[in-house]
C-alpha cells in the first residue's frame, strides 16, 4: 500500500515538474521591442559582471586580496568600468575587460589587455526561442591583435544578457549585463 502511494506520488510530482518546464513565456511589449532590435541588428550590451574561469592563478590573485571587496575569482564587478559590445548592421564592435590567463601567442601590451574588435564577423547566427522569448546569437570574429574569438550571446526578454567569449589565446570568460538600443545619433 505504501509502495503504491509512493509510486503515485512520484508520478504526480514528476508530471508537475515536467508541466512547469513546458510553459510558454508570452510575448510582452518589452520582449517584442527586443525582437525588433535583434532583427534590425541595432543594440549594445553593457556588462555589470565579468565571470572569468576560476583558475589557480585567479585564485592566487583573490587570496592575495588583489580583486577588491565583493569580488571573487569567478565573479568580478564591472560597475564603473566602461565596456560594451555593440551590433550595428553587419559590424560588431567590442571593448571588454579581460580577467584570466593568456594561453599562448601574443602578449599583454601596455595599450590594451582587453577583448577588442571592430569588424564584420566571419560567421553569424541568430536564433529565437519562442517558448522562452530568448535570443541566442553566435558568431566568430578576429580581434585587433590577430586573436580569434567564438562568442555566444544570450538575450533575455527583460533586456538582460549573458556573453560567453572563447578565445584562441586566452581562457574563457563570461559577462552579464543589460541591453540597450543604440541611439539614432550614433547610427
Contact criterion met (CB below 8 Å) for 45 and 163: yes
CATH number of 30-186: 2.40.128.410
User: Whole-prediction pTM value?
Assistant: 0.80
**85 vs 185: which has the higher pLDDT:** 85
Cα 44 versus chain centre, distance: 12
Task: Report DSSP state, residue 78.
Answer: -
Note the pLDDT tens digit of each residue in 96-110. 999 888 876 655 554
In this predicted structure, what is the pLDDT of residue 62?
A: 77
Average pLDDT, the chain: 84
**So what's the pLDDT on residue 110?**
44
Which residue blocks in the chain are alpha helix, DSSP H?
Answer: 2-21, 29-40, 56-63
Q: Give the residue, 103 or 83, on which the prediction is more confident.
A: 83
Give the tens place of pLDDT for each residue, 124-158: 999 999 999 999 999 999 987 778 999 999 999 99
Amino acid at each position: 500500500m505504501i509502495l503504491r502511494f509512493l509510486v503515485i506520488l512520484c508520478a504526480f510530482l514528476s508530471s508537475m515538474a515536467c508541466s512547469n518546464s513546458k510553459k510558454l513565456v508570452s510575448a510582452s511589449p518589452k520582449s517584442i521591442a527586443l525582437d525588433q532590435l535583434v532583427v534590425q541588428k541595432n543594440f549594445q550590451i553593457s556588462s555589470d559582471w565579468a565571470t572569468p574561469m576560476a583558475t589557480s592563478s585567479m585564485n592566487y590573485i583573490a587570496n592575495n586580496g588583489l580583486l577588491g571587496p565583493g569580488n571573487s575569482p569567478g565573479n568580478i564587478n564591472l560597475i564603473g568600468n566602461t565596456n560594451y559590445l555593440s551590433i550595428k548592421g553587419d559590424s560588431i564592435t567590442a571593448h571588454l575587460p579581460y580577467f584570466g590567463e593568456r594561453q599562448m601567442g601574443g602578449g599583454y601590451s601596455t595599450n590594451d589587455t582587453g577583448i577588442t574588435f571592430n569588424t564584420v564577423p566571419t560567421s553569424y547566427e541568430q536564433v529565437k526561442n519562442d517558448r522562452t522569448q530568448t535570443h541566442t546569437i553566435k558568431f566568430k570574429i578576429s580581434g585587433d591583435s590577430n586573436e580569434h574569438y567564438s562568442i555566444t550571446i544570450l538575450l533575455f526578454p527583460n533586456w538582460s544578457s549573458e556573453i560567453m567569449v572563447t578565445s584562441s589565446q586566452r581562457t574563457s570568460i563570461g559577462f552579464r549585463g543589460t541591453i540597450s538600443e543604440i541611439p539614432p545619433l550614433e547610427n
